[in-house]
Amino acid sequence: MQTWPSHPVPDVAGTPRPLRLYDTSSAQVRPTAPGPTATMYVCGITPYDATHLGHAATYLAFDLVHRLWLDNGHDVHYVQNVTDIDDPLLERAIRDQDDWVVLGMRETALFREDMAALRVLPPREFTGAVESIPDIVAAVAKLLASGTAYRVDDQEFPDIYFDHAATGRFGYESGYDRETMDRFFAERGGDPDRPGKRHPLDALLWRAARPDEPSWPSELGPGRPGWHIECSVIALNSLGMGIDLQAGGSDLIFPHHEYSAAHAEALTSEHPFARHYGHSAMIGLDGEKMSKSKGNLVFVSRLRADGVDPMAIRLGLLSGHYRQDRSWTTDILDTAQTRLTAWRAAVARPSAPPAADLITRLRDHLANDLDTPQAIAAMDAWSRQDGTDPQAPTAVAQAVDALLGIKL
Ligand code: 5CA
Ligand code: ZN
């Protein structure tokens, strides 16, 4: 698929700091240790509605990882998918008497615009599930052949499932107990009660064609892909095993990232799928998780249409820590707008305090598990101080652009 436009990232003077990031699997903040090319897969949208501030917060968090790796001199190979065929898309299309293909294309186009406006650096590959179907079919056929997948005994709808225990490591990514797994599996797209499955936690790989649902002919029979195998296959084909970071919102810890890892590991007989599993916290509105099903959404495109500066949206979302569940409020936006104005005035001064110390602080805070509240506080302090260095305003504007993605 076509991705969105990029923009140049300025070089920052001084010494970069290697990134330490919380890893869900080991439950600790650990150094990321990429080679010359750092590889990152961030799960993309299911395009049945516009991008809300929760989605945006997640893509912004991992955009900082991208920027810090660039600062450390890595070539960053970033891949993102688009779940352009799945139940929620079909359900919304039926509800709105829309064509599911047109709905997906429209919302994906809007997502690209929102990401570009928020200055999220684009992935190198932006890959749809639909365009990946031949690869997914080949992967499911391989799992069937190796005995890690099986067909349910159902003449009418011979769906294919994954034996969740196939790798012997199931659960290593989330660390959840069985009760938590059962709950999230049922809540987040799983089908524990599907008759014919060998185990309630076995996950769908290939859904045999149903009347009135789109399907694709294949050697598996006509059907469409399950959700987790989509991300395993897209990540594997673009990046291979042992990717430096697999990321998404915390609602993807289980089942999605547990099964994506298990599928990829069963396909390759290698471990691990990812060397780091990163998860951003949930953004809510008035104390409730922002979600399509609850209808409490604030859309990036709505704010943009109302004339809000996308840099204020970005700054507002980054003013909280990415691992802290938090609510969006108009206060957060007002504060961000005031701060943006102050920062812009500070870098428009003829002289200011030297940049070097501030840049070190920005790097130190961001390299410490993306501590944006501390980085923002350091920039606030610099903005309030007077100084005599005529080079500092430009150097600081470039550092804030490169590291925080805020164009002043
Ligand atoms: N297409 C799948 C991933 S393969 C999917 O989860 N799509 S999504 O559109 O539902 O979500 C896109 C990303 O936004 C995911 O990483 C998800 O975890 C994240 N996300 C969804 N809601 C929120 C929220 N309220 N706060 C923070 N992140 C969120
Ligand atoms: Zn995914």
168 CA to middle of ligand 2, Å?
22
SS (H, E, C) 107-138: HHHHHHHHHHHCCCCCCCEEEECHHHHHHHHH
The string over 307-320, giving b where at least 16 C-beta atoms fall within 10 Å of a residue's C-beta and e elsewhere, is ebbbbbbbbbbbbb
93: its two tokens: 């299309």
Each residue's pLDDT tens digit, 115-165? 999 999 999 999 999 999 999 999 999 999 999 999 999 999 999 999 999
Tokens 């979302």 belong to: 317
365: its two tokens: 């805070």
Q: Is 234 in the pocket of ligand 1 (CB under 6 A)?
A: no
Name 269's Cβ contacts closer than 8 Å, sequence gap at least 6. Answer: none
Q: Is 190 in the pocket of ligand 1 (CB under 6 A)?
A: no
Mean pLDDT throughout 217-228? 98
Quote the DSSP letter at residue 281.
P
Each residue's pLDDT tens digit, 335-379? 999 999 999 999 999 999 999 999 999 999 999 999 999 999 999
d(CA 102, CA 59) in angstroms, rounded, equals: 24
Q: Is 251 in the pocket of ligand 1 (CB under 6 A)?
A: yes
**pTM for the whole thing?**
0.97
CA angle 244, 254, 79 (to 5 degrees): 35
Q: Is 83 in the pocket of ligand 1 (CB under 6 A)?
A: yes
230 CA to middle of ligand 1, Å?
15
The residue to mutate among 58, 127, 296, having the most atoms of ligand 1 within 8 angstroms of its beta carbon, is: 58
SS (H, E, C) 42-67: ECCCCCCCCCEHHHHHHHHHHHHHHH
Q: Is 47 in the pocket of ligand 1 (CB under 6 A)?
A: no
